[in-house]
Amino acid sequence: MKALKSTFRLLFLISILLWSCQSQAQRPNLKDASAEDIAKMQTGYQSKQLDLTDEQTQELQSINIKYANELVKFREKDPAERSFEDLKVLSQKQNQEVKAILSDEQFKRYLKLKQKTRERLRERRQKRMEKGQNNQQKELKNRNL
């Protein structure tokens, strides 16, 4: 009876381990993704959220790819040459192109999605900054001990 319980526990632990490895493998690694890959993922999400037609989805994907590549070029510039205004202009141009393919209601939802995404990114950045500050404080405490 004990052997059966031990075997069952072992099988259970192995299945949990395999399941967790599988779920990790299914998550896309955005650090290694190209601008086009990210734009395609973004389009898939937006298409579902905005209830787009196939034609709208294709047009949105080409717009997303175009501006993802523009963003890559922007990031590759020397930091001294980059400005927030340039980024803002890029975003406004993208919004104009997207507005041309969406209905008024879809465009309103699109803008809300963009705003939510910005807020999530801000929160993540804030958490990373706080985590970095906490790590620096811990290092200072450890040095002083």
pLDDT at residue 52 is higher than 80: yes
The per-residue pLDDT of the chain, averaged, comes to 82
pLDDT of residue 131: 81
Which is more confidently placed, 118 or 11? 118
Neighbours of 27 (CB within 10 A): 7
Under the banding of pLDDT at 50, 70 and 90, the label for residue 125 is confident
Residues ≥6 apart with Cβ < 8 Å to 28:
37, 41
User: Is the CB of residue 54 less than 8 Å from the CB of residue 96?
Assistant: no
Under the banding of pLDDT at 50, 70 and 90, the label for residue 144 is low
Separation of alpha carbons 113 and 55, rounded Å:
20
Separation of alpha carbons 87 and 75, rounded Å:
10
pLDDT at residue 20 is higher than 60: no
Q: What is the pTM of this model?
A: 0.67
Mean pLDDT of 3-9: 61
Q: Which two tokens stand for residue 11?
A: 């099988």
Q: What is the pLDDT of residues 69-123, one digit of tens each?
A: 998 888 888 888 888 888 889 999 999 999 999 999 999 999 999 999 889 989 9
